[in-house]
Structure 1
């Protein structure tokens, strides 16, 4: 049995310089993204597509969605498994293949989660749970390309670090 969740956002173009879209360079790519009762996000296209580099672009927000979804599932799974995570950061990267005739698609996304756990006895389980989080992530499951992850897990106050499935340092509990 499944449960449907419904989402709604509003995107408003704010880049009309007075000429509308009378020609390609006549308008800004600026727009806002809003959701009821939440702060407005100022956006634009990527600077490569005549956008404002100071604003978030759809490609960055897409990668942030992938990273955020993975993190939230991971934290949930760690809590269920008794793995105490004390810090989590990720630097997500992606590759967009732009076609010469226009259009394109993401062909790759790679998550680089750096996780700190409370105790060395948790490090192996903490590393393994990334695979399960990847299978559960709603956003990654909606992509037509593989979302890979290369986690680094360390123990708070210890030299023990695990990169994917290889441990280095003092990893004894």
Structure 2
């Protein structure tokens, strides 16, 4: 049985000067979602004349992949009895650009670090296995062509105290 979920956002950009000059228009824009607390302010990456203080589409792409993986990992951990109390990830991508300005994301690497309570599943091998399962079940990773690598980082197991 297939279950469908609908995702929708709106994107808004405006600039009174218009796009008559490549260097002259703003790359800043807002992304909104119905029922979301605040708009997400975004821009192009700095190398495309964007505002480095705002998230770019590339940043959001990485965040989406990492968030999707994390949510699957936490779901699986809760099912097997691994009690995770903290999760952080360093996510990196390599973009390859052609001479015409075309390109693609060539590789994405997730480096999640887990803090868990003591238990039978609180070991490096089991955590690596759970990451593999989470990666195979991630809707976003399954939806992109780029290979997403997961390199589990340090596992911290809390003291029993």
The bucket for the TM-score relative to the shorter chain is over 0.9
In structure 2, the partner of 1:112 is 111
Contact 2:44 2:56 in 1 (8 A): yes
**CA–CA distance in structure 2, aligned partners of residues 139 and 22 of structure 1:** 36
**CA–CA distance in structure 2, aligned partners of residues 30 and 37 of structure 1:** 22
The alpha carbon displacement at 1:128 in A equals 1.3
Q: What does residue range 85-164 of structure 1 map to in structure 2 within 5 Å? A: 85-119=84-118, 121-122=120-121, 123=123, 124-152=125-153, 153-157=155-159
Q: What does residue range 42-81 of structure 1 map to in structure 2 within 5 Å? A: 42-81=41-80
Q: Secondary structure at the match of 1:91?
A: strand
Structure 2: 5+ residue stretches without partners: none
User: Structure with the greater relative contact order (CA < 8 A, sep ≥ 6): 1 or 2?
Assistant: 2
**CA–CA distance in structure 2, aligned partners of residues 132 and 70 of structure 1:** 10
Count how many residue pairs are aligned between Structure 1 and Structure 2.
Answer: 156
Q: Does 1:7 align with 2:11?
A: no
Question: Which deviations, in whole Å up to 9, do the C-alpha atoms of 1:27-47 show, x marking residues without a partner?
Answer: 010000000121100100000
**CA–CA distance in structure 2, aligned partners of residues 98 and 150 of structure 1:** 25
The alpha carbon displacement at 1:120 in A equals 5.1
Q: Secondary structure at the match of 2:120?
A: helix
| Runs of 4+ with >4 A deviation | none
The alpha carbon displacement at 1:77 in A equals 0.1
Q: CA RMSD in A?
A: 1.3
**CA–CA distance in structure 2, aligned partners of residues 93 and 120 of structure 1:** 31
